[in-house]
């Protein structure tokens, strides 16, 4: 038995020297330490040993087994440590490598201005409502006091989708939708895309408007002027003044055009204000009594004002853009200039 153990020990030493990885280690365990391994075989061999010698021989085999197990354990730790080191090396991050550039986007100038306008009016208690882009003739025209064959329809070249169904030419139809849903007090903004068959350096067949509507008791033109002056001062970041010029819109009476004193030259006259000192920024007026009546609101009790802001116009004025096309071409050299502008 002693001989057998000695031979096995030598054999194992040779095998251990060859162990390079996990698989070799597992094979070694299978061959020697498993239930059918060489050490278990030695135990089985005890049967052939004389009865009186068995305890002593059994003890020797057991000691041998413990030694081999310890050796195996050590070997396992070494092999695992080596493999871990190998893995760590292969997964190491080279911090000297140049990083991949991550391009971040920018908000479109139209979005920037839209958000800015909403922020300003939200500060005065306005809510935001959005109406449909495909609109019916009733909301876009008739109930806004522009009946069929009214000459004011010629002010806006309309795209027809079907009979009495159009691409909305103005966000003013949102006023009707809001007043159908809600009774005064009303204070809403209606932002959105609008469409007209019109195309040159300052017009595009699709553009954006922001409608405003206030209806309550005792609302007058003075409220309109005060609110819009506050708006102009905030959006143009300055000490601008406003003035109202008489105008005509079928859904307001009186109707006005709101001008701001030129924020570029301070009113002295420059190319931006065409040397007038004033810049036209929006249309507005006191809501026509017929429009209130069309929505079931009693004009003897309530009054209101409305305004319509051209978002592209504000963006062009504020950012010094001279061609509206730039806002829709999506040229990155143009758009990248608005990074970080919000
Ligand atoms: N809807 C008008 C337009 O597209 C703008 C406008 C003018 C809206 C006066 C209003 C308003 O609400 O009161 O030209």
Give the Å distances, CA to CA, from 253 to 140, 220, 300, 304: 18, 11, 15, 10
- CA–centroid distance, 284 to ligand 1, in Å, is 6
Token pair belonging to 200: 């040159």
User: Phi, psi at residue 136, to the nearest 5°?
Assistant: -95, 160
Contact between residue 270 and residue 262 where contact means Cβ atoms under 8 Å apart = yes
Ligand 1 atom closest to Cα of 308? 8
Mutate to test the pocket of ligand 1, among 246, 283, 291, 307 (most ligand atoms within 8 A of CB): 283
Q: Given this model, what pLDDT does residue 342 score?
A: 61
Query: Does residue 207's CB lie within 6 angstroms of at least one atom of ligand 1?
Result: no
The three-state secondary structure class of 275 is coil
Please work out whether the CB of residue 242 comes within 6 Å of at least one atom of ligand 1. no
Q: In the chain, which residues have pLDDT < 50?
A: none
Tell me, using a 6 A CB cutoff, whether residue 252 lines ligand 1: yes
C-beta 145 within 6 A of ligand 1: no
Q: Where does the chain have alpha helices with state H?
A: 2-18, 22-28, 38-45, 54-90, 109-122, 137-140, 173-181, 221-235, 289-294, 311-319, 326-329, 332-335
Predicted local confidence at residue 333, as pLDDT: 92
Q: Which residue's CA is the nearest one to ligand 1's atom 7?
A: 283
Residue 189, burial from CB neighbour count under 10 angstroms (0-12, 13-18, 19+): buried
Q: What is the model's pTM?
A: 0.72
What pLDDT score does 199 carry?
Answer: 85
Q: Give the 3-state secondary structure of residue 162.
A: strand
CA 99 to ligand 1 centroid distance, Å: 51
Q: What is the dihedral sign for C-alpha 304, 305, 308, 311?
A: negative
- The answer to whether the beta carbons of residues 254 and 286 sit under 8 Å apart is yes
Strands (E), 236-301: 242-249, 252-261, 278-287
Q: Which residue's C-alpha comes closest to atom 4 of ligand 1?
A: 170
What SS3 class is residue 208?
A: strand
């Amino acid at each position: 038995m002693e001989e057998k153990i000695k031979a096995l020990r030598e054999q194992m030493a040779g095998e251990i020297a060859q162990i390079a990885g996990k698989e070799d280690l597992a094979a070694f365990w299978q061959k020697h330490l498993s239930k059918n391994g060489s050490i278990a075989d030695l135990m089985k061999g005890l049967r052939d040993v004389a009865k009186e010698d068995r305890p002593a021989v059994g003890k020797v085999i057991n000691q041998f087994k413990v030694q081999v197990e310890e050796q195996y354990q050590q070997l396992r730790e070494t092999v695992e440590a080596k493999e871990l080191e190998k893995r760590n090396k292969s997964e190491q991050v080279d911090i000297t490598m140049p990083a991949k550039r991550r391009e971040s986007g920018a908000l479109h100038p139209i979005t920037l201005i839209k958000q800015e306008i909403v922020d300003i009016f939200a500060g005065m208690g306005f809510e935001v409502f959005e109406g449909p882009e495909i609109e019916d003739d009733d909301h876009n025209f008739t109930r806004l006091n522009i009946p069929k064959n009214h000459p004011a329809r010629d002010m806006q070249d309309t795209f027809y989708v079907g009979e009495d169904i159009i691409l909305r030419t103005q966000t003013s139809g949102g006023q009707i939708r809001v007043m159908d849903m809600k009774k005064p007090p009303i204070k809403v903004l209606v932002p959105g895309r609008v469409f007209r068959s019109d195309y040159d350096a300052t017009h595009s067949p699709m553009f954006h408007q922001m409608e405003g509507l206030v209806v309550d008791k005792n609302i007058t033109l003075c409220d309109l002027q005060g609110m819009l002056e506050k708006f102009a001062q905030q959006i143009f970041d300055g000490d601008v003044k406003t003035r109202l010029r008489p105008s005509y819109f079928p859904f307001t009476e009186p109707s006005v055009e709101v001008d701001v004193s030129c924020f570029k030259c301070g009113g002295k006259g420059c190319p931006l204000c065409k040397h007038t000192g004033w810049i036209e920024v929006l249309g507005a007026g006191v809501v026509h009594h017929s429009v209130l009546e069309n929505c079931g609101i009693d004009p003897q009790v309530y009054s209101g004002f409305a305004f319509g802001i051209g978002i592209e116009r504000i963006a062009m004025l504020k950012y010094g853009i001279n061609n509206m096309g730039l806002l829709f071409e999506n040229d990155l050299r143009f758009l990248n200039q608005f990074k970080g502008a919000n």
